[in-house]
A = this chain, B = another copy of it.
């Protein structure tokens, strides 16, 4: 692991272990250089990356400060780390409802920018948090990039499998969110009534090289879900 990633990992662990709050100050660059036996550029690279991930904010001339990933129970959609990471303090279960290889629908073709004859893994899951029905997820993975999925993977964490087994590193994500209403099938799965409101979150996940590899549509239980989004600095041009 490159040095700057070690520094990132150590700082994240320190913030979490010490339960540091928003505004708490991190050690100075000089202290971090000494502590990690690293050069200035390496420490700066780690701090810039931590800022990009909204773990800290840097104030010119005064140092680096903790930015809190606040409010337990909120799904942080600024992070591209999968739901399981965002809700790691909770018991999360995923039940596979469907898994098959299909040809893409027009909607999938448009969002993944694929040809009509490309093989696509279709996965449908019902997710529960602390035993309560939470969301219904339909995901479309390009088989070219995710060649294999099975029930065990799908019911554990697909993202953890992609990252640790397939060595696929998600790059960035586009999320589209709006209020919709439940149809009978979805309402039955979530123990709600047809016509009840729901948050519909569509996401396109890209590889670091900019290629889209996963398009997902998730319907959330409107009473069980809250979203957290971390916005970034305005450039005053």
Contacts and interface: CB of A to CB of B under 8 A. Distances in A.
A231 B171 CA distance: 9
A229 interface: yes
In the complex, the 6 A-B pairs of residues with the closest C-beta atoms, listed nearest first: A173-B231, A197-B197, A179-B222, A175-B229, A177-B227, A178-B226
Interface in A1-23: 1, 5, 8-9, 12, 22-23
A146 to B, nearest CB: 16
A118 interface: no
B237 A8 contact: yes
A172 B54 contact: yes
Contact of A59 (B9, B49, B209): B209
A52 interface: yes
A8 B235 contact: yes
29 contacts: A1-B237, A5-B237, A9-B237, A48-B48, A53-B232, A53-B233, A57-B171, A59-B210, A67-B172, A67-B210, A70-B174, A77-B231, A78-B231, A79-B232, A80-B232, A81-B234, A163-B236, A170-B234, A172-B233, A174-B230, A175-B229, A177-B177, A178-B225, A178-B226, A179-B179, A179-B222, A179-B223, A197-B197, A197-B222
A65 interface: yes
Nearest to A181: B197
A103 interface: no
Interface in A187-222: 197-199, 203, 206, 208-210, 222
Nearest to A50: B235
Contacts of A161: none
A145 to B, nearest CB: 15
A172 B232 contact: yes
A79 B231 CA distance: 6
A78 B80 contact: no
B233 A175 contact: no
Nearest to A77: B229
Contacts of A198: 179
Contacts of A5: 235, 237
A140 B70 CA distance: 20
Contacts of A225: 178-179
